[in-house]
């Protein structure tokens, strides 16, 4: 049997941790969503956009082959760690964005871990209509644990788990109803993500320079009328000097005479407009009253369709334009 990749079930954002016996809680890992498909003969890996990543993570393929199941579909996050042992989105992007010629070098230099939290199919049976509690029980039975493959534990006390991840400067938690089904391609309140810090994927519409090199990005998201709305300027984060040099080269290729934003950003001078093709993941503390990001930091450039970078309702209610 040859599996066709599916779109994973997604949590919705929430500010309050749901409590009570109907809920369980798991760490939210700051990585790349990855579904693993094993038909008993081969293993293939696909991300949430259904792009294949099998050659990117050969150590995961070999470990999943060791499962005692004749066939399975796993759902989880592939992560890499920073020097302090914390999940780093920047590090995992170095692996995920490699070209075929760079796979071997990246595999040797950046160690990854597959944090598995769900089982959708096993031994010829679909489990997506089964309650989460049943899927987790069967996942523990069939998951091939190794140095690279890990089961994501569940906890009854969401408040205590959130306090723990906050203390460790991790991303947040996901709260799930015990009886929740896995809605392929869907999203609803049966799964809720509660984050220590917020993040989003934005479109780069312009850059500024210092001493001939890009030093900041002007970013935006599209509204429902497909206008690119400016949401802030970001120049800090995880990018290295080499990364900024690479951004400078890309910016030269994408330069435009036209402002892609709906209106002129405030308090920003001497910018170079870009064709809005680059996308970047940014973390931030909160939305300001005028509709921009407070204390944004660059996490990594990502492979996302710019037109899918949509403002969430209510996030940009202010007016940050002249």
CA distance 151 to 144: 9
Using the structure block, give the residue that is written with the tokens 């199941």: 69
Count Cα atoms within 13 angstroms, Cβ side, for 295. 5
Q: What is the DSSP string of 217-249?
A: EEEEEE-TT--EEEEEEE--BS--HHHHHHHHH
Using the structure block, give the residue that is written with the tokens 């984050």: 195
CA distance 231 to 101: 36
Number of other CB atoms surrounding residue 109 within 10 Å = 11
The CA angle 156-162-166, to the nearest 5 degrees, is: 155
Number of other CB atoms surrounding residue 81 within 10 Å = 15
Q: Would you report the helix, strand and coil content of the chain in percent, each value rounded to 5? A: 20, 40, 40
Which of these, 163, 57, 150, lies nearest to 110 by C-alpha position? 57
Cβ partners under 8 Å of residue 240, min gap 6? none
Q: So which residues are the catalytic ones? A: 28
Residue 2 has phi, psi (to 5 degrees) of -105, 115
Q: What is the DSSP string of 129-189?
A: TS-HHHHHHHHHHH----SSEEE---BS-HHHHHHHHHHTT--EEEEEETT----TT-EEE
CA distance 111 to 81: 8
């Amino acid at each position: 049997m040859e599996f066709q990749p599916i779109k994973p079930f997604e949590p919705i954002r929430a500010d309050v941790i749901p409590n009570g016996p109907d809920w369980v809680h798991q760490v939210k890992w700051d990585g790349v969503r990855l579904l693993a498909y094993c038909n008993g003969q081969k293993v293939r890996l696909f991300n949430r956009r259904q792009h294949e990543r099998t050659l990117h993570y050969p150590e995961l393929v070999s470990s999943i082959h060791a499962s005692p199941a004749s066939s399975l579909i796993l759902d989880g996050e592939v992560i890499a760690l920073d020097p302090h042992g914390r999940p780093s989105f920047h590090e995992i992007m170095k692996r995920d964005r490699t070209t075929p010629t760079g796979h071997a070098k990246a595999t040797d230099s950046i160690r990854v871990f597959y944090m598995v939290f769900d089982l959708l199919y096993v031994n010829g049976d679909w489990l997506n209509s089964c309650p989460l509690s049943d899927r987790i029980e069967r996942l523990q039975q069939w998951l091939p644990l190794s140095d690279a493959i890990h089961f994501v534990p569940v906890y009854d006390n969401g408040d205590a788990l959130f306090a723990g991840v906050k203390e460790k400067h991790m991303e947040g938690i996901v709260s799930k109803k015990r009886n929740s089904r896995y809605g392929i391609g869907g999203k609803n309140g049966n799964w809720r993500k509660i984050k220590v810090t917020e993040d989003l994927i934005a479109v780069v519409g312009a850059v500024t320079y210092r001493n001939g090199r890009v030093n900041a990005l002007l970013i935006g998201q599209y509204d429902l009328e497909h206008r690119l709305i400016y949401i802030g300027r970001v120049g800090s984060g995880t990018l290295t000097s080499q990364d900024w040099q690479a951004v400078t080269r890309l910016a030269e290729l994408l330069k435009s005479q036209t402002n892609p934003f709906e209106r002129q950003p405030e308090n920003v001078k001497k910018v170079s407009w870009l064709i809005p093709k680059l996308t970047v993941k940014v973390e931030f503390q909160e939305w300001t009253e005028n509709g921009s990001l407070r204390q944004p930091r660059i996490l990594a450039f990502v492979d996302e369709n710019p037109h899918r970078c949509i403002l969430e309702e209510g996030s940009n209610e202010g007016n940050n334009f002249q």
